Amino acid sequence: MERVGAWAAGVGVGLVRACAVAGLALAVPAVWAGAVALGIHWGAANPWSWLLPAVLAGAGTLVLCRPVCAAVRALVARWSGAVVPAGYRQAPRVTQLSTGYWWNGFGYERTRRDALMDQHWRIRWQDPANLRDLRFVAVFPFTAGLLAAVPPAALVTAAVHRGVLTAVPGVLLAVGCAPYAWRAVVPVAVRFLRPSTAMALAERVAELTAQRADATVAQAAEIRRIERDLHDGAQARLVALGLSLATAQRLLDRDPEQARALIRDAQAGATASLAELRELVRGISPPVLTERGLLDAVRALALDLPLPVDVEAQGPLRADAPVEAAVYFGVAELLTNAVRHAGATRATVRLRQDAAGVDAEVLDDGRGGLVERPGGGLAGLRRRVDAFGGTLTIDSPAGGPTRVRMAVPCESS
Query: 403 - beta bridge partners?
Result: 363, 395
Closest by alpha carbon to 218, among 384, 34, 397? Answer: 384
pLDDT per residue rounded down to tens, the chain (413 residues): 667 667 777 778 888 888 888 888 888 888 898 888 888 888 777 777 788 888 888 888 888 888 999 999 999 988 888 888 887 877 777 877 767 788 877 788 888 888 888 888 888 787 778 888 889 989 999 998 888 888 888 888 877 776 656 677 777 777 778 788 888 888 898 888 887 776 667 666 766 666 666 666 556 566 666 666 666 666 666 677 677 777 767 776 777 777 777 777 777 767 766 666 666 555 556 666 666 777 777 788 777 778 888 888 876 677 777 777 778 778 888 888 887 777 778 888 888 887 777 888 888 887 777 777 766 667 777 777 777 777 888 887 877 788 888 888 876 54
Distance CA(98)–CA(10), nearest Å, equals 62
List the one residue out of 81, 87, 97, 170 whose CA is nearest residue 131: 87
Strand, coil or helix: 407: strand
Sign of the C-alpha dihedral, residues 281, 283, 284, 289?
Answer: positive
